[in-house]
Amino acid sequence: MAEKHELVTAISKGMNTKAESEGHNVVIDEPANMGGTDEGANPLGTLLASLAGCENAIANFVAKEMEFDLQGIDFEIDGEMDPRGMMGEEGVRPYFKKVTVHAKVRTSETEERVRELQKKVDRRCPVFTTLEAADVEMVPEWVKA
């Protein structure tokens, strides 16, 4: 199978970035108190939203393979970091230290099957595994809704 490439183009002005991916637009910005125009989520929020979207997409692929009754997933994702790193303080990493993925899975399946789904999804999700490879402590908390 040939390698897949993702291509995003972006135009930035001040803190505001208007990006396009395969004809879809995404606005990334900062709130006014950080010098932005607050037209979109901030970059870190966008990263966590990407994690939710990726986990959901992979869950749907895996559910089909497992013959798992997946009716939907509600995510709440909490990223913890020390903002001093982002602001330039030496010795403080400028990215998440820990990300907790709270997922409520709407299904008729058992809690055991939900855990099986979660494990398979986390092994295959490119965003989850990228964060894990960056030494972010990933805490999956998937439960049956």
Token couple for 30: 């900062």
How many Å apart are CA 65 and CA 20, to the nearest integer? 31
The mean pLDDT of 34-44, rounded to a whole number, is 96
> Hunting for tokens 């970091």 — which residue is that?
81
Residues in contact with 120: Cβ distance below 8 Å, sequence separation at least 6, in sequence order? 62, 66
Each residue's pLDDT tens digit, 122-132: 999 999 999 99
How many Å apart are CA 76 and CA 45, to the nearest integer? 12
pTM attached to this predicted model = 0.94
Beta strands, E only, 55-117 = 70-80, 98-107
Of the chain, the end-to-end C-alpha distance in Å amounts to 37
Token couple for 45: 């929020």
Please check the confidence at residue 2 and state whether its pLDDT lies above 90: no
Proportion of the chain above pLDDT 70, given as a percent = 100
- Strand 137-144 to 98-107 pairing: parallel
